[in-house]
Amino acid sequence: MFRKRMSTSEKELPQMVNLAEKYFQLAELEDSESWETEVLLKADQTIHVGETDGPLFKTASGTWLQDEHGRFEMSLSRRYDAGHEKRKTTDVGEFDFEVGRVYSGELSYVGASIAVSGSIHIIDEKLGNEEVGFFNLIDTTSSRRNMDS
């Protein structure tokens, strides 16, 4: 499933860090745009997508994978509403559309926090697999728990 071979030194990261049930701040950079979104990597390898300062989506879903060498892959799909009520014959009207991205990277530590850095890809039937940006995931689980208590 992994599209790039990436290596992580065993000294930098234990062979298996459990990412399940951890909250992360996902920072995305595509073209000149950047935004942050809260994600929860669930134990069943699905993703709960939380608040964002990026484009507001209607729904979002995804899956994630991690291998024993520190490689990580996440697929996210977001559905957006657009347009407005059709008032003229030339208006498009209301519609929705879906944007899918694949995030491939490797695990590391930023201080004591787990992090993942890598590239964002679009998988398109005409364009194929094209790199469109970069991302970082930073573990925010402990700071979130401190805020909740």
Residue 98 forms part of a structural domain? yes
User: 5 and 11 in contact (C-beta within 8 Å)?
Assistant: no
- pLDDT at site 140: 95
- pLDDT at site 86: 82
User: 79 and 47 in contact (C-beta within 8 Å)?
Assistant: no
- pLDDT at site 52: 96
In a 10 Å sphere around its CB, with 0-12 CB exposed, 13-18 middle and 19+ buried, how is residue 135 labelled?
buried
69-117 pLDDT, tens digit per residue, is 889 999 999 999 988 888 888 878 888 999 999 999 999 988 888 999 9
DSSP secondary structure letters along 70-126 = SEEEEEEEEEEEE-----STT----EEEEEEEEEEEEEEEETTEEEEEEEEEEEETT
Residue 14 forms part of a structural domain? no
Residue 135 forms part of a structural domain? yes
User: 23 and 140 in contact (C-beta within 8 Å)?
Assistant: yes
d(CA 51, CA 38): 6
Residue 12 forms part of a structural domain? no
Looking at per-residue pLDDT, the higher value among 133 and 111 belongs to: 133
Confidence of residue 148 (pLDDT cuts 50, 70, 90): low
Residue 15 forms part of a structural domain? no
Count the domains in the chain.
Answer: 1
**In which domain, by residue range, is 122 found?**
22-148
Residue 123 forms part of a structural domain? yes
Residue 9 forms part of a structural domain? no
SS3 content of the chain, % helix, strand, coil (to 5): 5, 55, 40
Q: How many residues does the chain have?
A: 149
22-81 pLDDT, tens digit per residue, is 999 999 999 999 999 999 999 999 999 999 999 999 999 999 999 988 899 999 999 999
User: The whole model's pTM is what?
Assistant: 0.83
Residue 5 forms part of a structural domain? no
Confidence of residue 146 (pLDDT cuts 50, 70, 90): low
Kindly give, in sequence order, each residue whose CB lies less than 8 Å from that of residue 149, ignoring residues fewer than 6 positions away: none
